[in-house]
Structure 1
Amino acid sequence: MNRRDFVTTSLAAAAGAALSRNTSFAAGQIAAPVPGAIAESVIKQARFPESFLWGTATASYQNEGAWNEDGKGESLWDRFTHTPGKVRGAATGDVSCDQYHLYPQDIALAKSLNIKSHRFSISWPRIQPTGIGAPNMKGIDHYSRFVDTLLAAGIRPWCTMYHWDLPQALEDKGGWPNRDLAGYFADYAGILGKHLGDRITTWAPFNMPWAIAFMSYAAGAFPPQRTSFTDYLKAAHTLALAQAEANRAVKAASPKATVGSAYEMAPSYPKTNSPEDRAAADRYHNMNNVFFLEATMKGRYPNAFVGEPPLQQMGFKPGDEKLLLAPLDWIGFHFYGRRVVSDASKEVFATGGAFSGTEIESNSPGGRDPYTRFRAGMPTEGPLTESGIEIWPRGIYDLVTRITKEYDHPFIEITESGCGYLDSPNEQGRVPDTRRIDWYRQVLAELARAISDGAKVRAYHAWTLLDNFQWGEGYTERYGLIYTDFRSQKRTIKDSGHWYAKVAASNRLEV
């Protein structure tokens, strides 16, 4: 099921529900909240530290366009979107927001919104057209100018090395299930550190590594659309190795580098209070939230499986535990919504089933996959955004406080967080997206509460700066603080963007 169908079928159940404030952790689990509104007084009282970094996030393929200019190689998303029937509306990222050419005006707009940190990604095939070999200096020069423009605007350049646009030539070599890609990726990271590490000090190797492995190689939802659980496990292990190798490589090239993460995370709530569902919710947390985090922080994988970890299927070799270990300087993760998880370990597993949501989940008999054996549903107890994601602000509090406790109060950055609504300019040229403002007010109030309770959250990056290409949904979803007219490339700051600018200037939500 796609997200738009998900909205249609779930809207009645979602009407009018909001968030409860009467939930708590119990023995590492999160009890299911009861719907209820956040008090307006709580939002008005929310405060953020003086040094807090208000930011935005973007991604190369979703924004840049210029898909074959200045020596850039083909990515697997180029190949995918150029294949008929793969993306809603036959959309491609060939032009998108044309940010490759228009970045000076976009950075000027970000400055006008009082943005102090901008998370962007670098296109690997723009640097190494085939994923290996000497760098394409036109690509290096582009990102050098991009970073200089950010710095001139007083904005911290925050770089994701890889946001899904793998060089197609490396997919032709087997893609992420091929262990050799860990070494290729480390070489790429070293190139970035050498040429840009004098100005970029904040790095993350991957955006959403679990999604890279599962959605591409098990679910068959994203390119290369494989449906092999063995490939999924091998890809996960290669990505974990590559994460650590890239950490070491960029620091070897740039002593100023600090390395963190940009993981997808969603708080996991057990469907019932049964021991089985609670254990399943833990497996979800260990696989979807902290699988790659645990690997790099402790050199081991967490207990995400029913039975023994499938290390042989993953391609795990003696000594890999030492290669995996490369502790992060800080922890970054996204927040959009929650998952309600139930156990499926006693059922007979069968492949297939429906997929829905931003982080695609399987509802096949016996659970999502034959190893973790759980079902993770996107609930509809709260209202839904127009992208079909439940609004559950309490989730960010639960997630931040859980990571804070489990990893001994690390520095945390929210690397992506936002909501999809299709508001467009009115007759006066304004974009009155009040629902987006309300979403941010509630979520950020819960984040402020987590900070007041001791979480060391130092930055929040709104997804996204401007409306862009939304992967399989093409241009049918809008998450930006700035409205993009994709025909004229005109940018219009939405009311939410003006509101966010005031929040960034005041560190309070009542502005």
Structure 2
Amino acid sequence: MSDSIDTTGFPAGFVWGVSTSAYQVEGAVTEDGRGASIWDTRCKTKGGIGDGSNADVACDHYHRWPEDIALMRDIGVDAYRFSLAWPRLLPRGKGAVNEKGLAFYDRLIDSLLERGIEPWACLYHWDLPQTLHDLGGWTSRDCAGWFADYAALCAKRYGDRVKRWITFNEFSVFTLFGYAIPWAAPGITDRAAHLKAIHHVNLAHGAGVDVLRSLVPGASIGAIHNRQKIIPEHGREENVEPAALLDEHWNKAFPDPQLLGHYPPRLAEAIEPYVQPGDMARICRSIDWFGLNHYGPIFARAEPNSTWGYWWGDAPPNSPDYGVGWAIFPDAFREELLDIQRTYRLPIVVTENGCGGSDVVDAEGRVNDPHRIAYFTIYQEAMRAAMREGADVRGYFVWSLLDNFEWGTGYGSRFGIVHVDFQTLKRTPKASARWYADLIKAARAAGSQS
């Protein structure tokens, strides 16, 4: 497969970026007044992380951020999407503010701007303060107010410099895997808890949008949804209804109420006991763009013993993987972009796209990852096809800048375009980083000639 793709036709101002999240890269979990999060607790729970690791150090981005910004500058990205760590700014989730934590992001933001890289700040990427979880967390309606107060703190501190804001990353992942399928913190399996979490997170999103609108002049506000086509495993009839329910929980539980003003039908009936008068108006707030995280479709099967009667299934045998190690369906990406455009009628930013691997540094000090270059190439081609068919895509962010702590799986799979030696913390740009730098340079040159 060719390493090159057509770079013509990207709209003016198209944003090329890289993404990380605080808990996955920062480390320093007990330094400078940071409080504990639900993921710190999960890392200390037996069996909580597949390889028994933790994120106490992770990539040490908390101390090595100048080096990481230099890497971004060398690659030539326009923007860096990162998350603010709620427990670093408010160690108990509310109340007393941690000035050292606030100052860390001041330094990061200022340095990004000095180097011509736009900061895109996400308020929540899964690291709920443990103290708030102890008070009910997302199962408590009060959490929407706690989130609004946290959003106000961030907006007041950074809104003079940060104009691109994201309320939440991947709503459905942390609610489904945290409250119905025990693959993430806090590891609860309870239908009522899951339903409450969905609704209260939606309320928090609406409150966060209102706060950002009121406190950040010129704010461009988005929310990031993971959207993947849900396909019944092997096309079997018994998997059809479970797949339809998973589709509502995974793909529609958050963008539908936030942007259309209603829950999808199966979920609407189940969640009704937790909806109070006026809630849907509080949730459905105007935003500026739709953030999409996409890796591939999901194959669903019936599983009567699970919380909701569905489970993750297998892709069809002999599905193409292009050396990545999992089935690759670029047309599903193209179709998702077009469906989002038709349904929600917002500009789209691809905020995560990428693949894992077991990348190693060779004897010459290089990291060759042709599988990742192949993945990026075919997904970029699918994105371009969607754009030609009418998808209003305004930006593309690679996941991830760095190899990092991949949540419940630990450090086994490397998603970065920069290799991190987790013993020495040395950074080594991979072949895919050079490929991405060349793509950005070529796209800009093509845009200047059009």
Classify the TM-score, shorter chain. over 0.9
Where 2:350 maps in the other structure, the secondary structure is strand
What's 2:277 paired with? Answer: 318
TM-score (norm 2): 0.92
* Contact kept in structure 2, 1:178 and 1:234, CA below 8 Å: yes
Where 2:269 maps in the other structure, the secondary structure is coil
The 1:94/1:309 distance shift into structure 2, 3 A limit, reads same
1:350 positional shift: 3.4
* Contact kept in structure 2, 1:385 and 1:419, CA below 8 Å: no
Superposed CA deviations along residues 441-493 of structure 1, whole A, max 9, x for unmatched, are 00111101111112110111100001011111111110000000111111000
Superposed CA deviations along residues 342-378 of structure 1, whole A, max 9, x for unmatched, are 6x6xxxx8333xxxxxxxxxxxxxxx616xxx55534
What's 2:161 paired with? Answer: 199
1:309 positional shift: 1.1
Alignment partners' CA distance in 2, 1:283 and 1:72: 39
Identify unmatched segments of 5+ residues in structure 2.
none
- Structure 2 residue 211 is the aligned partner of structure 1 residue 249: yes
1:401 positional shift: 0.6
Alignment partners' CA distance in 1, 2:239 and 2:4: 32
What's 1:357 paired with? Answer: none
Where 1:206 maps in the other structure, the secondary structure is strand
* Contact kept in structure 2, 1:337 and 1:389, CA below 8 Å: no
Alignment partners' CA distance in 2, 1:323 and 1:434: 46
Q: How many residues align?
A: 445
Alignment partners' CA distance in 2, 1:209 and 1:323: 17
* Contact kept in structure 1, 2:233 and 2:313, CA below 8 Å: no
Residue 340 (structure 2) aligned to one of 403, 415, 418: 403
What's 2:68 paired with? Answer: 106
Alignment partners' CA distance in 2, 1:327 and 1:276: 39
What's 1:295 paired with? Answer: 257
Where 2:138 maps in the other structure, the secondary structure is coil
* Contact kept in structure 1, 2:228 and 2:296, CA below 8 Å: yes
Residue 193 (structure 2) aligned to one of 231, 241, 244: 231
Alignment partners' CA distance in 2, 1:268 and 1:88: 26
Where 2:177 maps in the other structure, the secondary structure is helix
The 1:508/1:337 distance shift into structure 2, 3 A limit, reads farther
Alignment partners' CA distance in 2, 1:438 and 1:279: 34
What's 1:439 paired with? Answer: 375
What's 2:102 paired with? Answer: 140
1:298 positional shift: 2.7
What's 2:402 paired with? Answer: 466
1:438 positional shift: 0.6
Paired letter, 2:358? L
Identify unmatched segments of 5+ residues in structure 1.
1-38, 353-367
More helix by share: 2
Superposed CA deviations along residues 90-148 of structure 1, whole A, max 9, x for unmatched, are 21111111000110110110110011111100110001001111321111111111111
Alignment partners' CA distance in 1, 2:324 and 2:35: 32
The aligned runs of 1:265-280 (5 Å cut-off) are: 265-269=227-231
* Contact kept in structure 2, 1:245 and 1:323, CA below 8 Å: yes
* Contact kept in structure 1, 2:90 and 2:96, CA below 8 Å: yes
Alignment partners' CA distance in 2, 1:164 and 1:387: 27
Alignment partners' CA distance in 1, 2:63 and 2:140: 34
Paired letter, 1:396? F
* Contact kept in structure 2, 1:53 and 1:116, CA below 8 Å: yes
Where 2:223 maps in the other structure, the secondary structure is coil
Alignment partners' CA distance in 2, 1:508 and 1:42: 15
1:388 positional shift: 5.4
Paired letter, 1:263? H
What's 1:356 paired with? Answer: none
Alignment partners' CA distance in 2, 1:41 and 1:91: 35
* Contact kept in structure 1, 2:203 and 2:282, CA below 8 Å: yes
Alignment partners' CA distance in 2, 1:414 and 1:386: 23
- Structure 2 residue 308 is the aligned partner of structure 1 residue 369: yes
Paired letter, 2:198? A
- Structure 2 residue 441 is the aligned partner of structure 1 residue 502: no
